Structure 1
Amino acid sequence: MSKEFDEVKNDVGEGKEPTTTVRELLRWFGARRRRTGIVKKIQLELDGAGIVTSPDFTKVWIDAEIAFKKAPEPVAIVPPPQDPQGAADTTYSPKDANFLISMLKAANCGVVAVKPQDTIEKAITLMLAHDFSQLAVMPNDRTISGAISWKTIGKRLSQENNLVEVKDAMEAAVALEDTEGLFKATKLIIDHEFVFVRSSLDKKVTGIVTATDLSEQFQFLSEPFLLIGQIENQIRNLINGKYAIEVLQSVCSDADPERKERIQSVADLTFGEYLWIIQNPEHWEKLELRVDRVVFCAEMDKVREIRNDVMHFDPDGIDEEQYDQLRRFSRLMDELEALSQ
């Protein structure tokens, strides 16, 4: 257990509410991302210490600040009512969304705003200075009157309207709670080009998410999948036609005869099974590669581990070091393929 978490437990025990960021909390447990295993480990430690985080560390941006608080006393559970036949009432309760709009960086970076009575010149200057396409129109930090953008200004000018104050070129804006599911919010963002995000706790506006932010986030999440897919194709091409079906089937346990029977080509194997075949010195010789088997397999095993992380489609994504590993290994495969031709 880290000394930082021990200090948190002591502080909470004394009635304090210490704070940190999600990223720091992960670091205390030797992690950089909210993978399933590490989240479970942290949650068990929190539960064991009678502590909760506010907001929930699994539902906010990785650099968001969280507070550690004493967990509320458990509430006695009343048995559900029985119907005349004695069957319990099993009303469906939906699970929380796994991907919330609050997990996006843009939803946590605040907004640049103008008031309805500010001049059009002020709004234009702020948009130019910050390279923004739109601004929030807010009389205070909790109330969104609307938005002003280059588009709304252009529309008003095209009708030869006299623009003096921001309210003369203002349009309605969409605001979502930070607990809104990311995929549900996506349609609204596409339809309206941007949405504002407000805290479900204090109702303050915490950020603006644009269509550009959304596309960057999905690229951030999808690029590792594309790299992994490319590497898997490269591995298949490397070993395709080099081994008898019996060798391919040997990676499957005898306890699963049905799957073993289904393995008829390299396309039927998992990434880990590719590695298992290549690690065998006898099988390695058939590839006729002029590179070191141990080093190659070690690099491939790193890719396997990253692949396991990527499959969770975690909003935290993978870090730059892992990206570099995928890119390096893909380049290595390209070079080996070129040399073999």
Structure 2
Amino acid sequence: MAGPRVVSPHDPANRRVSVRDLLTANLVTAGDRLRFIRPRSGEEHVATVSSAGAIVLPDGSEYDTPSDAARAVANIQVNGWIVWRTDSNRTLASLRNELRDVEAGVTELTTASEFLQETKGQVRAGDTVSITVRELLRHWNAHTRGTRITRRIEKDLTSHDLTTFPHFRDVTLDTTVRFFALDEEQPPKSSDEQVLKMHTASTPEPDDGDPPQIGLKVGNLLSALNGVVFVPPEGSVEQAITQMQIDDFSQLAVMAANKRKLIGAVTWKSIAIARHNSADATLQDCLIDAPEIPYDQELVDVLGVLQSVGFVFVRNERNEINGIVTAADLAHAYGDMATPFFLIGELDQLLRHIVSKHIDLADVVKLCDASGSREIKSFDQLTMGDYERALQNPDAWAQIGTKLDRVSFCQRLGMIREVRNDIMHFNPEDIPANTVDMLRNFLRMIRLNVPGC
């Protein structure tokens, strides 16, 4: 990890940034609307950006800084860079950090730390701080949620006594999450006093240095939290049929308008059976039981339901039915993962064969588990990281009997190990587009150049 960054008064990254600077950099434009929302007090304040870079309130008054404008409308001392948001839901603070990234090459650690410090102060002051997952990742110079960056963000949040709700890894990239203090006694409540579950997940450090294993959650699928079309229980069969044809749906939710009480579902099959039994069948006659799950459930846990029923409705963090996952959604999510999944399994078997054939187990244990804490008794216990550590050793490499360059080989093996966890645990966000070609080329090279393969 890099050491502490030396702060210089001449460093552009530390100069005082103004809204005018954001305007000059085209990060905001004249006339853009800004919003300052305070849910606890039921207040929403609106302002606009002037052509001179000032913040203009509805009464025509202008302020040079976001904090002055926020203080004017809310009559409290507050960090305006955090509370004012654009219509694209970005805070002025995030735009300021983006400008600093461009101008001065601020490191990911500095940007993330500054952001979390500001967020912590705002949360402690009792104000709401929300952000999209995509924008959250940007503070760590990341675009996807691989296992390593997820662990890094979780540790940084914890070090600042913060957590997000919903958890940032359990939803889609464009879902908005809210920050809370870890020691906050009660989670937020919805309008009907339904208590929501807080997530303060922490992931233990693995002994062998491999990242934690994080699989897909139901909420990671776009359809899971993308809204749901439904008919009320007092609706008609014709209404359901029309809606299903309009949207080309195979099933439809039947529930109350508040989206909290799911009555059931209707499908083409249930309608056909009911109408076959009685031409006058009502919507209630067509109802079938509708499976439902929380958004933060592991996707692998619902495979059986999807196989038998074909669909499942999803409850969001406010306990509303807010999406549906079908077998087709599952096929799309996992379909592109099948090839790299099997290739990585093939590579694992091939590397185990090479290591077990040419290197004594005792030597491998010395290289991979010198302390004996893992109690390795068989080659079957070795991980991709173990293969890399063993083959990095010049003496062990010499026993392989290949003319391939050890350094280049292990560098590529290290790259493959980096994406292996995301492949094996179906995390498609962080898998490079060229992964299949990289794996096939590596396998081909091994078979052509390593004896006994």
Q: Provide the TM-score with structure 1 as the length reference.
A: 0.69
User: Structure 2: which 5+ residue stretches go unaligned?
Assistant: 1-109, 187-199, 202-213
CA contact (8 A) 1:39 1:58 kept: no
More helix by share: 1
| Counterparts of 2:252 and 2:330, CA distance in 1 | 18
> Cα deviation per residue 1:118-171 (whole Å; 9 max; x = unaligned)?
5655544543443321112345242434322111122134335246x6555333
Aligned-partner Cα distance in 2 for 1:53–1:245: 45
Q: Residue 68 and residue 255 in structure 1: after superposition, are their counterparts in 2 closer, same or farther (change >3 A)?
A: closer
Give how far 1:329 is off.
2.5
TM-aligned CA distance change 1:267 to 1:184, over 3 Å:
closer
The 5-angstrom pairing of residues 247-258 of structure 1 reads 248=364, 251=367, 255-256=371-372
- 1:220–1:334 distance in 2 versus 1, CA, 3 Å: same
Report what 2:90 is aligned to: none
Structure 1, unpaired ranges of 5+ = 76-94
The structure-2 alpha-carbon separation of the partners of 1:177 and 1:33, relative to structure 1 and needing over 3 Å to count, comes to closer
The answer to whether the 8 A contact 1:62-1:316 is kept is no
1:5 maps to 2:123: no
Instruction: Give the counterpart of 1:33 among 141, 145, 158.
Output: 145
Q: 2: CA distance between counterparts of 1:231 and 1:301?
A: 13
Question: Structure 2 matches for 1:154-173, cutoff 5 A?
Answer: 154-159=272-277, 161-162=279-280, 166-167=283-284, 169-173=286-290
Contact 2:404 2:449 (8 Å CA) reproduced: no
CA contact (8 A) 1:34 1:58 kept: no
Which residue of 1 is the match for residue 266 of structure 2?
148
Residues 300, 329 of structure 1: 8 Å contact kept: no
How do 1:124-139 residues align onto structure 2 when only pairs under 5 Å count?
Answer: 124-139=241-256
1:24 to 135, 142, 145: 135
**Aligned partners of 2:264 and 2:289 also within 8 Å:** yes
CA–CA distance in structure 1, aligned partners of residues 313 and 373 of structure 2? 55
CA displacement at 1:301 relative to structure 2: 0.9
Paired residues of 1:23 and 1:63 also in contact (CA < 8 A): yes
Partner of 1:337: 447
Amino acid at match of 1:232: D
Q: Deviations over 1:202-227 (max 9, x none)?
A: x4321112344456556678876544
Match of 1:55? Answer: 166
Q: Which residue of 2 aligns with 1:328?
A: 438
Change in CA separation of 1:308 and 1:103 when aligned onto 2, cut-off 3 Å: closer
**Does the C-alpha gap of structure 1 residues 240 and 200 become closer, same or farther in structure 2, counting only changes over 3 Å?**
closer
What's the CA shift for 1:107?
2.1
Counterparts of 1:232-251 in structure 2, within 5 Å, are 232-239=348-355, 241-243=357-359, 248=364, 251=367
**1:272 and 2:391 aligned:** no
Whole-angstrom distance in 2 between the partners of 1:257 and 1:138: 54
Q: In the alignment, which residue of structure 2 is the partner of 1:83?
A: none
What secondary structure, in the 3-state scheme, does the structure 1 residue paired with 2:128 have?
coil
Q: Is the 8 A contact 1:11 1:18 kept in 2?
A: yes
Query: Residues 38 and 254 from structure 1, CA distance in 2 versus in 1: closer, same or farther, beyond 3 angstroms?
Result: closer
Contact 2:310–2:327 (8 Å) recurs in 1: yes
Secondary structure of residue in 2 paired with 1:110: coil
C-alpha distance 24-281 of structure 1, shift in aligned 2 (>3 A) = same
Q: Which has the higher contact order (CA 8 A, sep 6+)?
A: 1
- 5 Å-filtered alignment, 1:47-196, equals 47=161, 51-57=162-168, 59-69=170-180, 101-116=218-233, 120=237, 122-142=239-259, 143-159=261-277, 161-162=279-280, 166-167=283-284, 169-178=286-295, 187-196=304-313
AA at the equivalent of 2:346: Q
Alpha-carbon shift at residue 178 of structure 1 (Å) = 4.0
Partner residue of 1:42 out of 141, 148, 156: 156
The answer on whether the counterparts of 1:133 and 1:150 sit within 8 Å (CA) in structure 2 is yes
Deviations 1:285-330 (A, max 9, x none): 554555443222111011223335667x4x7555231x63365124
Tell me how far apart the structure 2 counterparts of residues 156 and 220 of structure 1 sit (CA, whole Å).
38
Q: Which residue in 2 is equivalent to 1:88?
A: none
Report the secondary structure of 2:367's partner residue: coil
* 3-state SS of 1:132 partner: coil
Alpha-carbon shift at residue 337 of structure 1 (Å)? 1.4
Cα deviation, residue 187, structure 1 = 4.9
- Superposition RMSD in Å: 4.3
**Any conservation in 1 of the 2:133–2:175 contact (CA below 8 Å)?**
yes
8 A Cα contact 1:59 1:103, kept in partner? yes
Distance 1:180 1:237 in 2: 37
Q: Residues 287 and 126 of structure 1: is their aligned pair in 2 closer, same or farther, counting only changes over 3 Å?
A: farther
User: What are the Cα deviations for residues 49-84 of structure 1, in whole angstroms up to 9, with x where unaligned?
Assistant: xx4433343554454211224666569xxxxxxxxx
Change over 3 Å in CA distance of 1:6–1:223 after alignment to 2? farther
- For 2:279, give the aligned amino acid: N
Partner of 2:324 in structure 1?
Answer: 208
Q: Which amino acid aligns with 1:33?
A: R
